[in-house]
Amino acid sequence: MREQDSLLFRGDGMFVLLVSFALILVGLTMATFAYCKRQSILQSAHSVANACKCMFGMPSLLLEPFLSTMVGLCSSVGLLVGYELLRSCGSVEQHVRISGTYVQGLSRYMVYRDLELIYVWAYVLIAAWLMETGIALRYFAVAFATQRWYFNEHFTPPLSLFKGFFIGATKHLGSMALGALCIAPLRFAQWVRKGRVSPKGPSFAECLGCWAFWDGIGKLMHSSAYVIVAVDFLPFFLAAQKASDVRSTQLESGVNTNSLIWIFQAWGVVAISGLSGTLAWFLVVSLDAFTDQASPHYVDNATAIAVAGVVIGLGIGATFMHMLRNVADTIVFCEKLQALQAATFRQADNNHV
């Protein structure tokens, strides 16, 4: 062994023992958690399996992460260019520095008037709104394709995802824009509200004394409204009200099917990024084009390439698993919606009798 090898291989028994106990403790903790949440994990695994069936039943869904990433990057670059052009409209002033501490010379900086500052901040807010509208349109397209797969007995026409983008952009763009304006500011409160102990306990908004606002409007602002827009073609607020009724029914039943789907998301991201980094490292150290010093493509540091592969895989895995989560959530929501409609029909028949 070389002396620069890791401490783990130097024969330090105490260090190896501590690492072993730490790993055993982590394993026991994870095993205990898995045993206590086994029912939720099985339900989440069932949702992931259905989502995979849906995705392989509609190959166009497999293109969604790539398309969304490319469109998002192009939109971000365009908005950033517009922001820099707007900032260049300020007045350029000069400042002469004469000091013994700093290098003497002439510096320039931008000065903005009050109205120009308003323009800049308004542009930032509008840009954020446009990005949120794009995210809403993406969610709508995935929900549209998924609900067609679910309600058509696992059969959908080809290119359903692209049809969802077209319908969302031509017929429901107002709902997408309104949802982006209303849902985004309350996204953190919705996330905190998911973690409350019981459905009857006080939520985050209630603890702040905003129960009236939350009970009236805030609880309706959830991305599941896009699923109702995709299923029933309702306006945004009517769809948000119906989605809230479905979620309330789910809370009353005490079942949250996708509560632990983040475990599968995390494992998917780790697996994709790890495989990407391993493949990049293997190619760099095995091909002559990268190992031969006389080659113009010679790579001196394979670790840097492997890290770059991990970063790229991390982005790809996060985007893909986010789409998988949207598909799984849509399928579960369609199941709850179908059950709620069946219960409503049964109640109507009983009242008629």
**Position with higher pLDDT, 170 vs 62:** 170
Residue 157 has pLDDT above 80, yes or no: no
Question: What average pLDDT does this structure show over 158-185?
Answer: 87
- Residues across the chain: 353
Q: Say which residue, 312 or 91, is predicted with more confidence.
A: 312
The pLDDT tens digits of the residues spanning 270-288 come to 888 889 888 988 888 888 8
Between the two ends of the chain, the Cα-to-Cα distance in Å is 85
259 Cβ contact partners less than 8 Å away, ≥ 6 residues apart: 40, 44
Q: How far apart are CA 308 and CA 286, in angstroms?
A: 17
SS3 call for 256: coil
Q: What is the domain partition of the chain in residue ranges?
A: 260-315
Predicted confidence band of residue 349 (pLDDT cuts 50, 70, 90): low
Q: What is the pLDDT of residue 99?
A: 54
Q: Which residues, listed in sequence order, are joined to residue 93 by a DSSP beta bridge?
A: 109
Contact 65, 320 (CB under 8 A): yes
Let me know: does 149 contact 231? Beta carbons within 8 Å: no
pLDDT beyond 60 at 21: yes
> Hey, which of 178-187, 258-267, 308-317 has the most confident mean pLDDT?
308-317
Rounded CA-CA distance 47/324 in Å is: 10
Query: For residue 286, how many other CB atoms are within 10 A of its CB?
Result: 10
What's the mean per-residue pLDDT of the chain?
77
Percentage of residues in the chain having pLDDT higher than 70: 74
Q: Measure the CA–CA gap between 129 and 135, rounded to whole angstroms.
A: 10
Contact yes or no for 64/326 (Cβ under 8 A)? no
Q: What is the pLDDT of residues 215-261, one digit of tens each?
A: 556 677 778 888 888 888 888 888 888 888 777 766 555 455 556 77
Q: Which two tokens stand for residue 145?
A: 């394709």
What backbone phi and psi angles, to 5 degrees, belong to 169?
A: -80, -25
The predicted model gives 183-187 an average pLDDT of 77
Residue 25 near residue 19, CB atoms below 8 Å = no
Burial of 121 (0-12, 13-18, 19+ CB in 10 A): exposed
Percent of the chain with pLDDT over 90: 8
* pLDDT value for 197: 37
Q: How confident is the model at residue 324 (pLDDT cuts 50, 70, 90)?
A: confident
Q: Could you tell me which residues are beta bridge partners of residue 109?
A: 93
pTM higher than 0.85, yes or no?
Answer: no
Is residue 284 within 8 A of residue 299, CB to CB? The reply is yes
